[in-house]
Structure 1
Amino acid sequence: MNAPRKKVLLVDDVELFVELEKTFFHRANVTLLVARNGLEALDLARRERPDLIFMDLFMPEMDGDVACARLKEDPDLSSIPVVMVTHGGRDADLQRCRDAGCDDILLKPVNRHKFVAAARRFIGLEDRVAPRVDARIEVRYANGGNELTDYSLNMSTGGLFLETDRLLPVETELQVSFNLPDRDEPVRTRARVAWANEPDNRIKPGLPPGMGLQFLDLSLDDLQDVRSFVREHLDRILPS
C-alpha cells in the first residue's frame, strides 16, 4: 500500500516565485498547495493540514512572520514545520523570522537544492530519478583526517544509503570510496550528507539509522561502472 502523498504549502504573493518553487518539486511525490498571503496561508493550513510550509516574509494583508507566529501559537498547527523565505538576509529580517518561531530560513534568490534539502529534512522527501538497488558494500569515508568504514544498504547512480550510528550534519561533505564487484580500482568521489535517519527521528522508518549520501563528482568511468552495477541488479529482480 502506497504512503499518502505529503502536502507542501507554498506561500508567496509573487507569481514568478510561486511558479519557480513549483518546479523544484516536479519530480517529487507531493501535493502542492498555494497561498498568496499570510491570511490565505492560515486558512489553508487549517483546512488542509500541510506537512510543510514555505512562507515568504513580506506579503500584502499579512506578512509571513505574523502568519508563522499564529501557526506556532495554535496547538493543532504548531507542529507543522515552517520555512521562512526572505530577500537578502538583513539581520532585522532574519530576527523577525526567528522571533516568529520558524523552523528554518531560506534566502532569495531561491535555490532548488536548498528547497529540496529542507523538504527532505522535514518530511523525508523522495527526489530521485535514478533507480536504486539493494547493495551491501563496504564504504570508506573521511571528513577531515580520520577515515571511517561502514556499509551501504542501497545505491543508485546518484548516491547511496550508508547504515551507521555515526551521523554527521546534513550538508557535510565527505571523501568517499568503495569497491564494486569485478572492478580492480575503487570508485572515489566527493559526497554530501543529503539527509539523516536519526535513531529517535526516522524520516524513513523502513531504514535503520544512517545517512543518505549524494555523489558530487563521479568521473565518467566511475559513473559508467556504477550504472552498470545498478542495471545488473535490476535485471536480476525485474521480470524479462
Structure 2
Amino acid sequence: MLRRLRLLLLPLLGLIATTALANPLGPTVGVVLMHGKGGSPEKHVDKLAKALQQQGVLLANLDMPWSGRREYDADVASAVKQVQEALESLRNQGARKLVVAGHSQGGLFALYLAGRLPLDGVMAIAPGGNVAAGTPRERLADTVASARSLLAAGHGGEKTRLADFEGSKGLYPITTTPRIYLDWFDPDGAMNQSKAVQQLPASLPVLYISPEDDYPALQRVRQSMFDALPANPASQLLIPPGSHLQAPTAAIPGILTWLGRMAGTD
C-alpha cells in the first residue's frame, strides 16, 4: 500500500512558520532536533524549532559533531550519548512522547538512532549523507583508504586533513582524526542509510520528508527508501514544495499535524 502524504503549501515559505494547530501540542511531546551537514541550530532548522516551541513542544535543538563549528570533533558513540542526554532532559521536563528529528545528515542520523534508542517517533527531513551511496562512496574512497592506513600505522588519534563530500559542492577539506573520520565515513558504518533503516522496529512511526525539489539523487531514492521502512500505519511520506535547504520550514504544517496525531490533539 502506498503510504504517501502530499502537501500543498503557500508559495511564501516564510509564512509557513506561523502555522498553528487548533489545539497546541503542549508539553506532551518532546523533540530532539538535529541540523544538517556543516549547519547549526540557528540555520535551516531554526524556523522549525521556533514553530515547535510556539506549539508548546519541549525542544532540544542540538549542535551536532558534523556542524560547521565542530567539524567532526566527536565519534558516533559520543553523538548518540549527546542525544540520549537530551532525551532524558526532555523526559525530566515532563515529555511523555519522545521524537528524534533531523535535517539532511541529521535526518539520516535520526534513522540510525531510531534503531537504537527507545522512541515514540522519528522525523527524517530530507535525509542525506549516505556514505554507502554510489557517488559519495566513490568520491570518498581514497580518503577513507588514507584514514585506514593512518589508523593502522598508529596515528588514529592525530588530527589531519581529510575530505568530506556533498552533492551540491563536491569534495571539500575537513580536519579531524582518522579514528573519528572512519566512524562517520566508513560505508558500512552509521551513515549507511539502508542499514539504518533495516534496524528500525516495526512499532516505530516514521515521518519521512522529501521535498519536491530536493537534490536529484535524493528524489530518485525517496520512494524506495520510504518503502524500505517497516510497515507502520502511522508512518508517512511527506512531499512538501521547496528545495533541500527549505525542507524544514516547508514541512512545518505536515510536521505539526503528524505530531498532533501522536499527541492526540489534532
Structure with the higher fraction of residues in strand conformation: 1
Determine if the TM-score, normalized by the shorter chain, exceeds 0.5: no
Structure with the higher fraction of residues in helix conformation: 2
Report the TM-score when normalising by structure 2.
0.35
Report the TM-score when normalising by structure 1.
0.38
